[in-house]
Amino acid sequence: MNLTLRIWRQKGPEDKGRMVTYPVDDVSPDMSFLEMLDVLNERLILDGEDPVAFDHDCREGICGMCGLMINGDAHGPQRGTTACQLHMRQFKDGDTIDIEPWRASAFPVIKDLVVNRGAFDKIIAAGGYVTAPTGSAPEAHSTPVAKANADAAFESAACIGCGACVAACPNGSGMLFTAAKLTQLSLLPQGQPERYTRVIGMVDAHDEAGFGGCTNAGECTVVCPKGIPLNTIGRLNRDYLTATTKGAGNTPGS
Amino acid sequence: MTKTRSPIRSNVGLKAVMAVTGILLVLFLIAHMLGNLKVFTGETSFDHYAHWLRDIGKPLLPGVWFLWILRTVLVVAVVAHIWAATVLALRARAARPVKYAHRKKVRGSYAARTMRWGGVIILLFVIYHLLDLTTGTLNPVGDPGNPYGNVVADFAPERWYVTLFYTLAIVTLGFHLRHGAFSAFRSLGQQTPRGERRARTAALIFAVALCAGYLVVPFAVLTGLVS
């Protein structure tokens, strides 16, 4: 396959940045998208040019590091798939592919396609944990969990924090991420003691980071590589409204 | 961390404001639509109904107090709805300062994509509508004592552009409600996948029914069914 790539190149956070066109020849349909970028980078290095910076780590679709806006689709055209697990057979010979970084004020571009997703860490730090006694794992039967709750919590826990939800959201909202990180705890008994302080803390951190608000447009859940459902945000809304009307305190983690 | 802002100003709180005010406005829209349908019961009945609206609450409340209380509630709801929408729209714009070079259309739905501009169109229509049938300024008859005559004169065939604008506004309203009604449930904590399917279906049926209820009046006048 011969492809034309239009890639966002930006030397650093202060650089203005622009789309640059690169032809890439002899791409195997069995390559992953990132392997295709590796091929391009090897050529750029041999030519003495600056290789394209992009985030990646496990390349198994579970670490959440990779994230590219491919032809306006977060993680590319295949649903339920991270960019690293996307294969070139999804494209046709002669295609032009636009590759851009996640666009959000909360995710400033560090270089080329790499963005700083530290804002997600701040949301987690504001309440995405439980104050549980440490030690050996407790006997599983000692704390019964309803099957439906366990399933829903697991669904949320599948979030890898890649940021595709923010990238795809027309409002640049990080609500799907925040809701997933919230409900994986709030649905389980272990998460109950801090349930209402957690939600206030995490929503505050979300808003402070400069993410937009959710308008239930549903873009996030379409591109989410882990298929976190949109109704997760409803759970967040309910917890937030309960927490604020109850006056459940405003010190996260207390 | 100390609380520095009201929960209402959070992204979740603003959506709750939009949901509650939206529901209030929807309740009014339902009542208004049912009232409109009185036009099919004849001129005397319709005019009688219109005059009765000014007298609700008598003798408990003097004069047209009820009407003014209702108007105040509606204006507060409209202002709060628009305020929350504007704050959220500005935040959304600030959240993505650099646009994508290649951007697909929102896949959610046409309704979800057009909420903001649709809202602006509806607001402009409401202003026109008040000048037309409440104050009578833009109405060819404009007689406060003869609401039936005002309506019939308004949608007369030679004033087809009024009917066209009315239809466009109502269809826009339908799209606004199709997403808005579902969105309101979600913003107020609707949280299960099955509930989401139900809420979406209910919103669609409701939007279509409301549109039909509103559109049947001008088209009845246009076709001479009501004259």
DSSP string for residues in A89-102: GGS-TT-EEEEE--
Could you report the per-residue pLDDT of A93-103, keeping only the tens digit for each? 999 999 999 99
CB contact under 8 A, A206 and B102: no
Evaluate whether B161 touches B169 at the Cβ level (below 8 Å). Answer: no
Tell me: pLDDT of B4 over 80.
no
The ipTM value here is: 0.90
Confidence label for A253 from pLDDT (cuts 50, 70 and 90): very low
Q: Is A3 helix (H, G, I), strand (E, B) or coil?
A: strand
The number of C-alpha atoms within 13 Å of A118 and in the hemisphere containing its C-beta is 4
Evaluate whether B95 touches A211 at the Cβ level (below 8 Å). Answer: yes
Evaluate whether A247 touches A200 at the Cβ level (below 8 Å). Answer: no
Touching check for A203 and chain B: CB below 8 Å?
yes
CB contact under 8 A, B15 and A206: no
Q: Which residue did the predictor score with more confidence, B150 or A249?
A: B150
A235 vs B contacts (CB less than 8 Å): 189, 191
Question: Quick one: pLDDT at residue A249?
Answer: 52
Evaluate whether B199 touches B182 at the Cβ level (below 8 Å). Answer: yes
Average confidence (pLDDT) over B76-102:
96
- Could you report how far apart the first and last alpha carbons of chain B are, in Å? 67
Average confidence (pLDDT) over B114-120:
94
Evaluate whether A218 touches B112 at the Cβ level (below 8 Å). Answer: yes
Q: What percent of chain A shows pLDDT beyond 90?
A: 86
CB contact under 8 A, B186 and A175: no
Distances from the Cα of A46 to the Cα of A1, A42, B46, angstroms: 21, 6, 84
Tell me: pLDDT of B1 over 70.
no
Q: Tell how strand A96-100 and strand A73-74 pair up.
A: unpaired
Which chain B residue is nearest to residue A213, measuring alpha carbons? B11
Question: Quick one: pLDDT at residue A248?
Answer: 52
Q: Amino acid identity, residue B119?
A: G
Average confidence (pLDDT) over B117-143:
93
Q: Which of B98, B103, B183 sits opposite A216 (nearest CB)?
A: B183
Could you report the per-residue pLDDT of A8-35, keeping only the tens digit for each? 999 999 999 999 999 999 999 999 999 9
Tell me: pLDDT of A160 over 70.
yes
Confidence label for B49 from pLDDT (cuts 50, 70 and 90): very high
> In whole numbers, what is the pLDDT of chain A averaged over residues?
93
What's the length of chain B?
A: 227
Could you report the per-residue pLDDT of B204-213, keeping only the tens digit for each? 999 999 999 9
Tell me: pLDDT of B203 over 80.
yes
Domains and CATH numbers, chain B: 7-96+107-222 (1.20.1300)
Evaluate whether A59 touches A32 at the Cβ level (below 8 Å). Answer: yes
Could you report the per-residue pLDDT of A108-129, keeping only the tens digit for each? 999 999 999 999 999 999 999 8
Distances from the Cα of B114 to the Cα of A221, B125, B178, B179, angstroms: 19, 16, 11, 9
Average confidence (pLDDT) over B134-158:
90
Confidence label for B113 from pLDDT (cuts 50, 70 and 90): confident
- Which residues are CB-neighbours of A165 under 8 A, at least 6 positions away? A74, A173, A174, A175, A176, A177, A219, A220, A221, A223, A224, A228
Q: Where in chain A is the domain with CATH 1.10.1060.10?
A: 118-246
Q: Where in chain A is the domain with CATH 3.10.20.30?
A: 3-111
Tell me: pLDDT of B123 over 80.
yes
Average confidence (pLDDT) over A173-195:
94
How many other C-beta atoms are found inside a 10 Å radius of the C-beta of residue A151?
12
The Cα–Cα gap between B204 and B225 comes to 28
The Cα–Cα gap between A234 and A201 comes to 17
Tell me the longest C-alpha to C-alpha distance in chain B: 67
CA-CA-CA-CA dihedral for B188, B194, B196, B197, to nearest 10? -150
Confidence label for B167 from pLDDT (cuts 50, 70 and 90): very high
* Nearest chain A Cα distance for residue B47, angstroms: 41
The CATH fold of domain A3-111: Ubiquitin-like (UB roll) (3.10.20)
CB contact under 8 A, A212 and B112: no
Average confidence (pLDDT) over A189-204:
91
Task: Report the CATH number of the A118-246 domain.
Answer: 1.10.1060.10
| A residues 113-172 lying closer than 8 A (beta carbon) to B | 126, 170-172
Question: Quick one: pLDDT at residue B2?
Answer: 47
